[in-house]
């Protein structure tokens, strides 16, 4: 599969330009506002994949020709303005996939002959998912990353199958506990507060003993709050079979997510969750963080609505995101007016 970008003032104009050149068989992989460095080419970028070379139909056999002439080689599509987007590496880089993963993916594929399915398989190989819920879960991560919202979505969904207790360990933010207590009372969930690190393990164990799945809401710690972060990490370490879920915003850049992973590694995350996927079409941060850490992705969230906007992560969904199927849907909607 070859990949080529077209830029224009509107998605429709860029798509029509691409269709004129590539025909109807070319696959629309992504449509989005142009990156800053390509804005001079047009406000929107559409990315097309061309699965099979467009070869001119063979000339009718000459009366005396004994063997058909070999098909001409695939003509190159030189376009200095879109040079970067024409390569597989350029496409992956635009998705903000980390350089080391791009290198690994490129070296496992033959760029000249690679099909969309082969690329999807190569991308899938580095992903794990796991959204099972059978031991206490603590939602850790940067301030404002969507921990509490995700916890409530998961708690309400899971409460259909088992008893759930929500434990608030957020003593940092004023009214955090009250907000969560109110949400739990509306949803009919058991709520408890463990404002002191020393009390956390006992509170969790009491709910476990009562047969409840315990979901723990942790405060977010900034880079300058390493002291309290260590204290709470030690408190979490006392809970047996705990699953810490590092909750990150999918809108952050891959490099920033890597910093967050470094910062929160002390909590020994066993899973990842990504929020705010409704606000981005770029999945490289999700992919690179999961690929580089090897931690399974548990949940993806796509909006503020509790409990609707959450889904169990699947490899297919993440790979589709990377290949631009979300963009394809948007472009189709835009083209339909």
Binding residues for ligand GTP, rule: CB under 6 A, are 143-149, 170, 173, 176, 219-220, 275-276, 278-279, 301-304, 309
DSSP-derived 3-state class of residue 247: strand
* Residue partners of 292: CB distance under 8 A and separation at least 6: 98, 100, 101, 258, 261
The CA-based dihedral angle spanning residues 103, 104, 107, 112, taken in that order and rounded to the nearest 10 degrees: -70
| Cβ(331)–Cβ(47) below 8 Å | no
- Looking at the Cβ atoms of 150 and 239, the one nearer to Mg ion is 150
Q: Which is nearer to ligand GTP, 72 or 144 (CB)?
A: 144
First to last CA, the chain: 30
Residue 145 or 288: the one with the smaller Cβ distance to Mg ion is 145
Least separation in angstroms between residue 183's CB and Mg ion is: 11
The total number of residues written for the chain in this structure:
337
Select the span of 1-9, 88-96, 142-150, 240-248 touching Mg ion (CB under 5 A).
142-150
Name which of Mg ion, ligand GTP, none residue 197 binds, using a CB cut-off of 5 to 8 Å depending on partner kind. none
Per partner kind, with CB cut-offs from 5 to 8 A, the member of Mg ion, ligand GTP, none near residue 250 is: none
Q: Does 5 bind Mg ion (CB under 5 A)?
A: no
CB 226 → ligand GTP: shortest distance, Å? Answer: 16
Cβ distance to ligand GTP smaller for residue 220 or 321: 220
Among 30, 82, 148, 288, binds Mg ion (CB under 5 A): 148
- Contact (CB, 8 A) for 273 and 246: yes
In the complex, residue closest to Mg ion by CB: 148
Strands (E), the chain: 2-8, 27-33, 44-50, 137-140, 164-168, 190-193, 213-217, 243-249, 271-275, 297-301, 310-312
Q: Which does 289 bind (CB under 5 to 8 A by kind): ligand GTP, Mg ion, none?
A: none
Nearer to ligand GTP, 118 or 314 (CB): 314
Q: How far is the CB of 51 from Mg ion (least distance, A)?
A: 45
Find where tokens 């360990």 sit.
169
Of 118, 116, 119, 122, give the one whose Cα is nearest residue 52. 116
Strands 2-8 and 190-193: unpaired
Contact residues toward Mg ion (CB under 5 A) are 147-148
């Amino acid at each position: 599969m070859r990949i080529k970008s077209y830029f224009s003032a509107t998605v429709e104009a860029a798509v029509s330009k691409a269709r004129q050149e590539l025909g109807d068989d070319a696959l629309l992989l992504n449509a989005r506002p142009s990156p800053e460095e390509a804005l001079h080419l047009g406000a929107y970028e559409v990315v097309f994949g061309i699965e099979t070379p467009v070869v001119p139909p063979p000339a009718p056999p000459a009366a005396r020709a004994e063997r058909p002439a070999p098909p001409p080689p695939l003509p190159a599509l030189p376009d200095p303005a879109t040079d970067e987007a024409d390569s597989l590496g350029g496409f992956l880089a635009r998705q903000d996939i980390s350089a080391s993963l791009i290198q690994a993916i490129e070296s496992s594929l033959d760029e000249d002959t690679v099909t969309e399915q082969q690329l999807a398989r190569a991308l899938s190989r580095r992903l794990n998912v796991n959204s099972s819920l059978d031991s206490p879960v603590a939602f850790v991560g940067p301030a404002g990353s969507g921990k509490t919202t995700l916890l409530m979505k998961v708690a309400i969904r899971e409460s259909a199958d088992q008893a759930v207790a929500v434990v608030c360990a957020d003593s940092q933010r004023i009214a955090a506990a009250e907000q969560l207590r109110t949400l739990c009372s509306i949803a009919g969930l058991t709520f408890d507060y463990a404002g002191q690190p020393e009390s956390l393990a006992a509170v969790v164990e009491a709910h476990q003993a009562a047969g409840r799945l315990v979901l723990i809401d942790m405060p977010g710690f900034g880079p300058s709050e390493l002291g309290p972060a260590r204290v709470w990490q030690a408190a979490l370490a006392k809970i047996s079979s705990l699953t810490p879920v590092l909750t990150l915003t999918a809108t952050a850049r891959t490099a920033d997510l890597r910093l967050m992973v470094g910062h929160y590694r002390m909590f020994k995350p066993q899973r990842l969750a990504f929020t705010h996927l409704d606000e981005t079409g770029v999945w490289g941060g999700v992919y690179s963080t999961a690929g580089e850490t090897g931690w399974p992705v548990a949940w993806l969230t796509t909006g503020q609505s509790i409990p609707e906007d959450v889904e169990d992560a699947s490899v297919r969904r993440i790979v589709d995101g990377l290949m631009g199927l979300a963009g394809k849907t948007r472009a189709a909607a835009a083209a339909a007016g």
